[in-house]
Structures are given as structure tokens and as C-alpha cells.
Structure 1
């Protein structure tokens, strides 16, 4: 078992190839992009969950006030989570929030979905791309 840090929550970032390997080892890929972004394409892995960290509104992006509640209803605090977004910005914030909320095994996916695609890793789309 790894050591548990009791002090500040430090976000650990892994690259997309490491993330893909970890999904084969049972890690859950938590995609924090909007539903629309997720449906256009997401990593094709065994366990993927889409819980938006932010919503698009006419005023711009707004943080999802229910994010931590939604994650806690889908995952346990001991689950191994890989947090990914479009380019790696939202996922850093989401990972920090999860660590601050007591999740112990959370990692940020560096570069997000754009990096995943750039590295030609498998993707799945829920809707046809127009």
C-alpha cells in the first residue's frame, strides 16, 4: 500500500499513455467535460464516467455546484480515479477539489482529451460527428 499524505492535497498528473495503462488496471476515467463535449468523443476505456465540472451558460462557464455530490454517488473515496477534460485545465481543478474532499487515489490526465486524440489512443463517440 502506498503512503497517505495527511497534509495538503497535491495534484499528481500522469500522461495519456500512463492513464490508458491504468484504465486496464481498473482505474475509472472520470471525464469532467460537458455532456456535449463527452458525446462528441471520449476515451474508449473499460470504465468511463462523465460528470461535468463546469457548465456552459450564456454568461460563460459556471462551476457545477453539485460536482462533488455527483462524484460521491458514482464513486467511493477509495476508488482509483483518472480525471480528464479537454486540455487539462478543468481536470486540475476538479482533481484538487476531489483530493480536498477526501478522495485518496485521484490523478489528473495531462493534456486531456486533446492529448489522448493526438497520441492516437482509442476513442468512442456517443453521437455522429457532423
Structure 2
């Protein structure tokens, strides 16, 4: 008899909006996995955008280059808070990052919607910049 052992999925730590703000104030970096269009409408100061999904006429398509793109910006030991619009894409992205060996990565539950709702500072890029 052959048994195939599958390693368990890494446990995703999800933080709320207040914890996310505190982490960002203490050295964590913000990875925004929303689309470029969503990101251009506003994001926390210092956020880096790498879309996790693309919205196409055929539906949502996972960014096949996501892990490679993130690896060019962040090291596997960097402290990262992953956020999206509400926390759905970010939990998927966080799981993928943890599986790829990113050790200090947390999901931001509530996402940018919670950030904006609390009135925390939002950077809105100027057109043409």
C-alpha cells in the first residue's frame, strides 16, 4: 500500500484594519493585490501594486506571473501585509505567498474598503504621473 502525504496548507494570519495600520507603522510593507485600475483610485501610502487577478471579458483570470512579480519586489523574509478591496483576493494571494516560502506575510481582512471607511490616509495618484 502507498500513502501519499500532503503537507498541510500554511495557516493564514488575518489582521483587521487597526492591526494592519499598526503593522504598516512598524515596518511592514503593504502589497495591494487589486487591479491596477482599482489601485489608481486610491491606496494606503507606500503600497505596492501587484494584481492577483485580472478582470477579463471571459471572467477573472489569475495573474500567472504573480509570484515572480512579487519576488522581484519583496524578499521571502520581508514583513508584508497583503490587501485587496475586501479581503477575498488577498487571502488567496497570502496563501500562495506562504506556500512559496514568504514567511512573514499577513492577510488584511476588510481590505481597502475598511481602510477608507475608517478614514485612514489614502494616496490618490495624480493623472499622468
TM-score, normalised by the number of residues in structure 2 = 0.89
Unaligned runs of 5+ in 2: 1-6
| 1:31-84: CA deviation from partner (whole Å, max 9, x where unpaired) | 00000000001112xx32100000111111110000000000100000000000
2:84 alignment partner in structure 1: 85
- For structure 1, which segment, 85-94 or 6-15, has the greater mean C-alpha deviation from structure 2 after superposition? 6-15
1:112 alignment partner in structure 2: 111
2:68 alignment partner in structure 1: 69
- The 5 Å alignment of 1:41-60 reads 41-44=42-45, 47-60=46-59
1:35 alignment partner in structure 2: 36
**Number of equivalences:** 121
Query: Matches of 1:34 and 1:112 in 2, distance apart?
Result: 13
Which SS does the other structure have where 2:67 is aligned? helix
8 A Cα contact 1:40 1:127, kept in partner: no
TM-score, normalised by the number of residues in structure 1 = 0.88
Which runs of at least 4 in structure 1 moved beyond 4 Å after TM superposition? Answer: none
CA RMSD of aligned residues (A): 1.4
- Structure label with greater radius of gyration: 2
2:100 alignment partner in structure 1: 101
Unaligned runs of 5+ in 1: 1-5
Which SS does the other structure have where 1:68 is aligned? helix
